Structure 1
């Protein structure tokens, strides 16, 4: 059985380390496994990528609790590093928040964030967002803290109030969420480097997350720069999804126009390398050890020994 407590502890160690934790959002289990192989220390599961990969739809509150839970389980099963998950608004009132916490924690997640958008929510860098009164997320954070079975299951608050009421309001909301028990703070979509720095100065002793979306509201800032500001974690929620769409479009265009893959083949892994990566050799070994013929030979050997005795 997997030791999820160990992974939760590892995640907390990573966010409290002097070095910033850089995380990619994985749209699927294969992407998560590749991220782990190239060196990422943790994986993020989020609604934007899941809506795109599972339904080819925008992040507009279309995915439900069950779909996100299913994706989370797939990705956790594929990797041996901590997995942090986007909990949206908790999928309802405080009772639903408690259900979400119990399910995600039992699935093996290292932590979750909960946000203060009005449902149906939308991507934090889209226009037209609305937020609930801060008291609603305060109650949800308190519920989440009271519901979690392990103190090392990290709970992050997210506010989208920057776009609606300004940065000062977003900071004040986040302070109230921290007082309610949030372990980490995330203020979505600051508009400038100066705002990123203001957020970091407002929470000098609190683990903070920054969100880097290509062509989003926040200027793209390097991992090293965010570390110098004082951020504990940076997530790249759209990078893999956009890269997949770019590669798929190029490949499929060539295949449709030429009927074969001459140019894009240079950018593919080989048949044998891919099979090895996804563990075909291990599966073949299991099949060899436990298939009918070897098992029968072992049984015959045991019977012969008994007859001799």
Structure 2
């Protein structure tokens, strides 16, 4: 985990280099979603090799509102910096539309890079954007997004920073247009392609077939969203390189909090469910209190 005095180096080099190795590996990389620093630490402690900062979860956790473009670039950079600081795993981050035109994208990429992300994804929606599994999306012209991808490529200072190009065009103009956009984004320099919200297994297979060999592909296993929940074995068979489970942690946390609050409301105490919760000492260990105590001893006068 991200120790208070650790460096960003891993046994395989930087988190960005490590992410590139994982994306090139024989197995799809699984990146569960994290919506704050604590959930990011839990993803890492569960043994996953990468953490995904979900924009949907960030909006829900920071302002208690849906993912409809209410957060600014500054809000998102602030959040991702907290996640990067909390873990040693590569962090893949939602960067929405880049928060404006190609010039804004340059600023966004540099800010995310300075925050320490290993990868970020940019989408072709019109601002204010919406969650990719909501209705009412609008996308910018293909040429405009190509320019934004080119700007992102030129903006990064570390060539290991992974740029993921996402298209939401399938819901607006159809799957064929989404695939053609993805090809154009790869030609513009995107490292990874992300066709959002295909609505059938046939469409998912078409994306995988048509973009095979163009660039590594993302499968967004959006829990409860418009894309059918394929078994992992099928996702592997289709050849996807990165599998996101963006909001399972958020939904699980919401259900757990609702449950304990229901108990307190009904029984006027959490006593009956205390044995299902981490102990105080277990929780403080989880969030790094032993390291703090060790550092206190190390730096004591």
| Shorter-chain TM band | over 0.9
Q: CA contact under 8 A between 1:84 and 1:112: conserved in structure 2?
A: yes
Aligned-pair CA distance for 1:263: 3.5
Deviation at residue 94 of structure 1 after TM alignment: 1.2
Segment drifting more, 280-289 vs 143-152:
280-289
The Cα shift of 1:244 comes to 1.1
- Unaligned runs of 5+ residues in structure 1 are 296-309
Report matched runs for 1:112-123 at 5 Å: 112-123=120-131
Which residue matches 1:175? 183
What is aligned with 2:246? Answer: 237
**Alignment of 1:141 onto 2:149:** yes
2:208 is aligned to 200
Residue number among 210, 219, 223 corresponding to 1:214 in the alignment: 223
Q: Distance in 2 between matches of 1:76 and 1:267?
A: 30
Q: Which residues of 2 match residues 16-35 of structure 1 at below 5 A?
A: 16-35=24-43
For the pair 1:290 / 2:299, whether they are aligned, the reply is yes
Secondary structure of the corresponding residue to residue 271 of structure 2: coil
Flag the structure with larger Rg: 1
Structure 1 residue runs of 4 or more that deviate by more than 3 Å after TM superposition:
none
Q: Does 1:258 align with 2:281?
A: no
- Does the Cα contact within 8 Å between 1:22 and 1:223 map onto a contact in 2? no
- Alpha carbons 2:164, 2:192 under 8 Å: kept: yes
Per-residue deviation at 1:184? 0.6
| Unmatched runs of 5 consecutive residues or more in structure 2 | 1-6
1:110 to 107, 118, 126: 118
Deviation of the 1:245 alpha carbon: 1.0
Question: Residues of 1 paired with 2:274 and 2:296: CA distance?
Answer: 31
Write the deviation string for residues 253-308 of structure 1: whole angstroms up to 9, x where unpaired.
111221111333232111111111112122112223333xxx2xxxxxxxxxxxxx
Q: 1:117 is paired with a residue of what secondary structure?
A: coil
Q: 2:237 aligns with which of 213, 223, 228?
A: 228
Q: Distance in 2 between the 1:243 and 1:199 partners?
A: 30
Name the residue aligned to 1:42: 50
Please state whether the residue corresponding to 1:22 is helix, strand or coil.
Answer: strand
Q: TM-score, normalized by length of structure 1?
A: 0.92
TM-score, with normalisation over the residues of structure 2?
0.94
Structure 1 residues 59-68 or 273-282, which shifts more?
Answer: 273-282
